[in-house]
A = this chain, B = another copy of it.
Amino acid sequence: MSKSLELEDVTATAPCCAPLGGPPLAEDEAVELARVFKALSDPVRLRLLNLIASSAGGEACVCDLTTPFDLSGPTISHHLKVLRQAGLITGERRGTWVYYRPVPTAITRLSTLFTLPPTP
C-alpha cells in the first residue's frame, strides 16, 4: 500500500482532455472524469480547493483549513482525502503540520474540457 500521505492519484492513469463537444468519451475516460467531478460535487470540498488554490505561497496548512468551517476535524480530513485521491491536490507533512497545494495540471485540463467551439 501507499504510505499515508502519498496520493493515490486517479488522474495519473488517464490523460483525457478533449472538449465535451469533441469525439465521444470512452467509458474509461468517463469513469475517471466522473470521479474527479464527484470530488468537486460537495460545497465544502469546493471551498477547500478554493482556499488552497488561492493561498499565498501556493499552499495551505490544514490548521488554517479547519477553522473556516463549522465541521469536525475528521470531516475536513475526509474531504481533503477525497480531493487528494481525485488528484486535485497533494499533501506534504513538514514537522507538525501538513500542507496542501493544488495540482495545476489536473485543474487546468478541466478548463479545456468545457471549451465549446464557437457557434457558426
Contact = CB atoms under 8 A, between A and B. Distances in A.
Main secondary structure of the interface of A (DSSP, over half): helix
Q: How many copies does the complex hold?
A: 2
Nearest to A32: B43
A107 B114 contact: yes
A14 interface: no
A71 to B, nearest CB: 13
Interface in A1-56: 20-25, 27, 30-31, 33-35, 37-38, 40-47, 49-51, 53-54
A26 to B, nearest CB: 9
A83 B86 CA distance: 22
Interface size class of A (residues with CB under 8 A): 35 or more
30 contacts: A20-B50, A20-B53, A20-B54, A20-B102, A20-B107, A21-B54, A22-B50, A23-B54, A24-B51, A25-B47, A25-B50, A27-B47, A30-B44, A30-B46, A30-B50, A33-B43, A33-B46, A34-B41, A35-B41, A37-B37, A37-B41, A38-B38, A38-B41, A58-B119, A107-B116, A108-B114, A111-B111, A111-B114, A111-B115, A114-B114
